[in-house]
Amino acid sequence: MPATTNATSNTTPLGQQLSESPVVAQALDTLIAEVESKSAQITVPRGPVDGMSETYEAYMKRAAATRGKGLLYPYIGSGLGNRALVELMDGSVKWDMICGIGVNFFGHSDSDLIRASLRASLGDVTNHGNLLSNWGPYKFSETLLELAGRNSGLSQAFISPTGALANENALKVCYQKHAPASRVIAFQDCFMGRTVTMAQIGDSAGARVGIPLSTQVDYMPFFDEVEAEAVGLAKYIDGALVRLQEFIDRYPRQHACFIFELIQGEGGFNTAKRDYFRALMERCKANSIAVWDDEIQTFGRTESMFAYEALDLGDLVDVFCVGKMTQVCATLFTEEYAPKPGLLSGTFTGTGAAFDVGNRMLERLRDGDFYGADGVIAKHRDAFREQVRALAARRPEWFPKVESVPGKPGALDIVGGTGGMMRMTPFGGKKAKVTKACRACFDEGVVLFYCGHGPYHLRMLPPLGVMKLEDWPRVFECVERGLAKVAG
């Protein structure tokens, strides 16, 4: 091999010179200006454009053919939007209040994120891996760990391309630390992902049909605010600890972890009192059971960046998973839970664009005014609730009393959720009408979804990074038209 020589007097790598080139910067400015000029034309929701519907139907059939079944929503984006508005391929424009189930916190056609993505796309490879990688994944990990470590002992990160794989890696870390323990504790109505193992842990019968059950799971009831108020919080927590201890005594030293969704996502946007979580976590610590905090859907949406910060629980978290809003997913752990070499690996960690965009999103969350009692998220939470209350006042027949289901979190209020995880409960939480309402609202110009397992709720994960407070009345005009169709 020839001796190393200086090909240039510049000590900056050529790849970095390319990224910082004035020619590249000028080209990016031109591209961004063109995006902005087209995006600015999207200002209001609208129906399909004449002449595009037939072509759109053809695309829908082709999409269904690739999946072997029809799409749940007739949603195929055109590739352009404006903040909280998105254009579909039939030319229609809708309010996007679900954001890819929480991925696109900064909405559609955001110039800053497009710039980061375009710059990253100039890299020599599209995908990075655990063996061979450019700097992007490590820069992302540094930023994430700096933020996570402010109020926890989390100090290391392992990157994964999906949330389910991040959860798989978390489980492996817990298993290895507490080997030969093989059982898992989770909350009723939890959701963990769609891999074979995660489908077994997630509390959804439909997701387990036909899957051999090899993972041993013990389910704890989630916090029920109605019951806790009825018996008193202290007594309620004592009862939960008795239930947890029963599992521990029945299977001594056989539990590797207790999985905490501090705010359940698919389960209904349920949360609990800090003292409830803390008591359960402390009991786990006393019995060598890992405390695993799953914030894949929750991250970034509470009045603190991390839900464990909002609830002051970071000192008890051993393993943590994040994804969705971060664009790439990660398993974080404390030094004590650092895995042995060989346990975690994988060909892909993510694309260069995903890492640079994810890092930029973390920076914007860190530097913006999103958090705190007077932050952007809190203001949007209040605006959403005001709209629901006003709609219920106009149409009380659409919002009958929601009955509490024994053994499940009480949902007697018609509006709930935490921060940017928003829910409302029309039609008594009946599944048939709630799911029908999702499609009706879609047809009327707003994209949302449902959550819960009885009662069922309409849920929103809005793009609060770019949404305006004055957008809410316009969003609820569409919602009201959709609910009117279902009410009959």
Q: In the numeric block, which tokens belong to residue 366?
A: 């860190």
Q: Is 253 left (phi over 0), alpha (psi -120 to 50) or beta?
A: left
**Same domain (yes/no): 245, 389:** no
Which of these, 294, 203, 183, lies nearest to 244 by C-alpha position?
A: 183
pLDDT per residue over 38-96, tens digit each? 999 999 999 999 989 889 999 999 999 999 988 888 999 999 999 999 999 999 999 99
**Same domain (yes/no): 340, 400:** no
Q: How confident is the model at residue 402 (pLDDT cuts 50, 70, 90)?
A: confident
**Same domain (yes/no): 355, 384:** no
**Same domain (yes/no): 357, 397:** no
How many domains, the chain? 2
Cα 341 to chain centroid distance, Å, stands at 29
**305 Cβ contact partners less than 8 Å away, ≥ 6 residues apart:** 147, 299, 365, 366, 370, 371
Range 356-373 average pLDDT: 98
pLDDT per residue over 270-282, tens digit each? 999 999 999 999 9
**Same domain (yes/no): 169, 292:** yes
CATH number of the domain where residue 304 is located: 3.40.640.10
pLDDT tops 60 at residue 135: yes
pLDDT per residue over 303-340, tens digit each? 999 999 999 999 999 999 999 999 999 999 999 999 99
Q: How far is CA 5 from CA 9, 13, 16, 39, in A?
A: 10, 14, 19, 48
How many whole angstroms separate alpha carbon 444 and alpha carbon 291? 43
Is residue 205 included in any domain, yes or no?
Answer: yes
Residue 482's domain comprises 376-487
Is residue 51 included in any domain, yes or no?
Answer: no
Which of these, 145, 121, 142, 123, lies nearest to 134 by C-alpha position?
A: 123
pLDDT per residue over 186-236, tens digit each? 999 999 999 999 999 999 998 999 999 999 999 999 999 889 999 999 999
